[in-house]
Structure 1
Amino acid sequence: MTDTPKAPREPPVSPHLMTGGFGSPLLWRWHITMWTSILHRATGVALYVGGLIAAVWAVALAAGPERYADFKALMGSLPGKVVMFGLTLCIFYHLANGVRHLVWDTGHGLDVKSANASAVVVFAFAAAATLAIWGLAAMTGAV
């Protein structure tokens, strides 16, 4: 009995890699649950930045009225409001997607149809809650 050499096996290819070189089709197509996963990580990072802004707020408050006025002026400027709007959106997105993950941890909503539907709900909730908070802030003169 002769031992015939086996052909070397190709290693498995990750889904995000292309198959035969530049320009060939992707093995995996983008879908909404991929976006929710990526955005969950990105919003988590953004919330760390928000924590730093909260720390700067506390330091400015402790530093006295002049420093606190400077901080309020910065946060009240257009760039400051854009950052705060973005952080509000991140908070609500991360909250909704975190609840979605908690539901998944119970074993519910893991099928493709339910996962896609819950992803749409997460985006809708984040947008609606952010607009509601900022609308309330505008109506009360806080913005």
Structure 2
Amino acid sequence: MRVRYRAPTVEEADAMKSDTRPLSPHLQVYKLPIEGKLSILHRITGVGISIGMLLLTYWVGAAAYGPETYDAAMGFITSWFGYLLLLGFSVAFFFHTVSGIRHLVWDVGVGLTKEEARRSSYAVIAATAVLTVLAWIIGLA
């Protein structure tokens, strides 16, 4: 059975008008769910990884140019700003990877209910944190 939309009458429209009702969608009324936030973050981290690959290319290129260039690159990478970039790159990498695996699971039709999607969202955040910390512990050891 197909339901058709019926426009409200003038009287119904006047009754629906209210000075206290916000315009929809309104930022104070609508809250983006965690699944939507992580979807946006998945796209942002994809771009961040692409930009972060420039740092990796710089490092490999510096190694190819000789010891002086490599030492200069390592001086930058091991500075506080370089470590900050590497931390951001590793968080983006692990988040994008784990979130991508979640999307692959969704592609086979598993975990599509609202509750399962919410739980998997928090699992993605937790896995990203654990993998990032483990990688830094192993990398700095």
TM normalised by structure 2 equals 0.79
| Structure 1 position 86 matched with structure 2 position 88 | yes
Which residue in 1 is equivalent to 2:23?
20
Which residue in 2 is equivalent to 1:57?
59
What's the % identity of the aligned pairs?
33
| Structure 1 position 134 matched with structure 2 position 136 | yes
State the Cα distance separating 1:136 from its structure 2 match: 1.8
Gaps of 5+ in 2: 1-6, 9-21
Q: In structure 2, the residue corresponding to 1:107 is in which secondary structure? A: coil
1:39-58 matches, within 5 Å, as: 39-58=41-60
Counterpart AA for 1:72: M
Q: 4+ runs of 1 displaced by more than 3 Å?
A: 23-26
State the Cα distance separating 1:30 from its structure 2 match: 1.5
RMSD between aligned residues: 1.9
Counterpart AA for 1:20: L
State the Cα distance separating 1:24 from its structure 2 match: 7.4
State the Cα distance separating 1:86 from its structure 2 match: 1.0
Gaps of 5+ in 1: 1-5, 8-18
Q: In structure 2, the residue corresponding to 1:81 is in which secondary structure? A: helix
Change (3 A) 1:130 1:25: closer
Which residue in 1 is equivalent to 2:14?
none
1:89-117 CA distances to partner (integer Å, 9 max, x unpaired)? 11110010000000000011011000000
How many pairs align?
A: 121
Matches of 1:54 and 1:107, distance apart in 2? 36
- Give the structure, 1 or 2, with the largest relative contact order (CA under 8 Å, sep 6 or more): 2
Matches of 1:74 and 1:38, distance apart in 2? 31
Q: In structure 1, the residue corresponding to 2:74 is in which secondary structure? A: helix
State the Cα distance separating 1:34 from its structure 2 match: 1.0
Matches of 1:117 and 1:83, distance apart in 2? 29
State the Cα distance separating 1:137 from its structure 2 match: 2.2
Q: In structure 2, the residue corresponding to 1:29 is in which secondary structure? A: coil
State the Cα distance separating 1:20 from its structure 2 match: 2.5
Q: In structure 2, the residue corresponding to 1:110 is in which secondary structure? A: coil
